[in-house]
Amino acid sequence: MAAPAVLAEQLSKTFLVAEKDPGFAGTLRHFVRRRYRRIEAVRGVNFEIAPGEVVGFLGPNGAGKTTTLKMLTGLVQPTSGRARVLGRDPYRREAALLRSLTLVMGNKQQLIWDLPVLDSLRVNAAVYEIPWAEAERRTAELAEMLGVADVLRQPVRKLSLGERMKAELLASLLHRPRVLFLDEPTLGLDVNAQLAVRRFLKAYRERYGATLLLTSHYMADIEALAERVIVIHEGRLLYDGPLGGLVERFAPFKEVRLVLARPAAAAAFARYGEVEEAGGLRVRLLVEKERLTAVVAELLANFELRDLSVDEPPLEEVIGRVFAKGAV
């Protein structure tokens, strides 16, 4: 069995944050006797990711996702536990490992704002000791995959947000990393740009066998790229398993959508399940799976319906319920 590409064993990180009372007196006390508060950002997280696997990393804001990624890329030292990427300790910042991984953050940029994209790529090629002839070949290949070949000579400040994000991806992958840590790579992008980034990441993984750990608030990113998800909340791991299993485990209900022949009050449907939507002729219910057959039969018998459909609830809704529970 191949060694994991990414390993976290009891990974934890605690930050000490200074606290200061308001006003001049508070400032003086803060200067003389500083007071700290402990924040446990990550608490004993365990998981491993196989080479070539794509894993979605989910959690609400403040759950510890970015801190975990920073520990796995060596930017932050764990308070306790162990992190390994390709068998090495990322915090040691060994050159061999740094050439094999990348961290892409949707809210950060590495491209030089006033210079053409190609100038930033020349800098990256020099940092990673890639001969420029080889870097040019890789640039052309990645630019074609991303559809940005025609903007590489433009200053970064002249690019649209979607073009800039694609150029950021190109710069981050110029050294052809084997492990990609992606923190909100489609943040703020329009639908077309999001689709382009997803297609590119899927193609890159298939072409080079890369391992991806992806965080995103866009569930479409996760559904399009990952078959497995890891969910954390308040620094603790809640779930690690197949994406479909997440729905089965945390959503023991089906979504029933109705189109009525004539309007009915929302209260008329309360006995059948949770009324998520009721307006005009459209009703959306969440019905427990064990009651589904009986509920559908009653709805058909008691209401004049133009349409009835049964489906899995939206993934966003399942994730929201996971966070609301806060525990497995």
- Tens digits of residue pLDDT in 98-114: 999 999 988 788 999 99
Q: Which two tokens stand for residue 222?
A: 């996760």
For residue 30, what pLDDT is reported?
79
Distance of CA 202 to the CA centre of its chain: 15
For residue 1, what pLDDT is reported?
65
**Low-confidence residues in the chain, pLDDT < 50:** 327-328
pTM given for the model: 0.84
For residue 188, what pLDDT is reported?
83
Q: How do residues 191-228 score in pLDDT, each as one tens digit? A: 888 999 999 999 999 999 999 999 988 888 998 999 99
> Could you tell me the CA-to-CA distances from 150 to 112, 119, 153, 286 in Å, in that order?
18, 15, 7, 48
The answer to whether 65 touches 236, Cβ cutoff 8 Å, is no
For residue 205, what pLDDT is reported?
95
For residue 328, what pLDDT is reported?
46
> b/e string for 304-315 if b means 16 or more Cβ within 10 A?
eeeeeeeeebeb
Q: 252-311 has which fold?
A: Alpha-Beta Plaits (3.30.70)
> b/e string for 23-49 if b means 16 or more Cβ within 10 A?
eeeeeeeeeeeeeeeeeebbbebebeb
d(CA 328, CA 326): 7
Q: Where are the domains of the chain?
A: 6-247, 252-311
For residue 327, what pLDDT is reported?
47
Q: Would you state the CATH architecture of domain 6-247?
A: 3-Layer(aba) Sandwich (3.40)
